[in-house]
């Protein structure tokens, strides 16, 4: 639309967006720039798991130990995100329970006494 000569204000009104957004898209020539998150700090997951186990799962204490003993100054929210992402402290879930295959075990018969009562 911009290449056809439509002003930025009209394009913004048509799509109900801010004119600055339209200008930014025009500057990018319509291409979407994908920016992936790059962590500023890297933490060894094995070290994190070891400290998590030593602290009995107390994440606040893990945060303190990382800062005091290892000099890793990591934001608390970043720490909790890493723990969730790598599923530290969670038991591995089994996909299903395995049962031995015993012939006839899949059916259960009613063994209660039956008395026929004529109608």
Per-residue confidence (pLDDT) for residue 17, from 0 to 100 = 87
Q: Single out the residue of 35, 96, 88 nearest to residue 62, CA to CA.
A: 88
Domain extent listing, the chain: 1-35, 45-85
Q: What is the pLDDT of residues 65-81, one digit of tens each?
A: 999 999 988 889 999 99
In degrees, rounded to 5, the angle at the alpha carbon of residue 77 between the alpha carbons of residues 75 and 82 is 95
Q: What is the pLDDT of residues 82-100, one digit of tens each?
A: 999 999 988 777 777 777 7
pLDDT confidence tier of residue 39, bands split at 50, 70 and 90: low
Per-residue confidence (pLDDT) for residue 38, from 0 to 100 = 67
Per-residue confidence (pLDDT) for residue 47, from 0 to 100 = 92
């Amino acid at each position: 639309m911009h290449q056809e000569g439509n002003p930025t204000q009209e394009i913004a009104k048509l799509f109900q967006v801010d004119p600055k957004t339209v200008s930014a898209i025009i500057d990018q020539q319509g291409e979407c720039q994908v920016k992936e998150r790059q962590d500023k700090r890297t933490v060894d997951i094995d070290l994190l798991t070891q400290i998590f186990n030593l602290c009995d799962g107390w994440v606040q204490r893990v945060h303190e130990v990382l800062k005091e003993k290892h000099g890793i100054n990591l934001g608390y929210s970043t720490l909790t995100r890493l723990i969730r992402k790598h599923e530290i402290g969670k038991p591995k879930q089994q996909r299903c329970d395995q049962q031995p295959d015993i012939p006839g075990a899949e059916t259960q018969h009613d063994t209660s006494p039956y008395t026929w009562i004529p109608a």
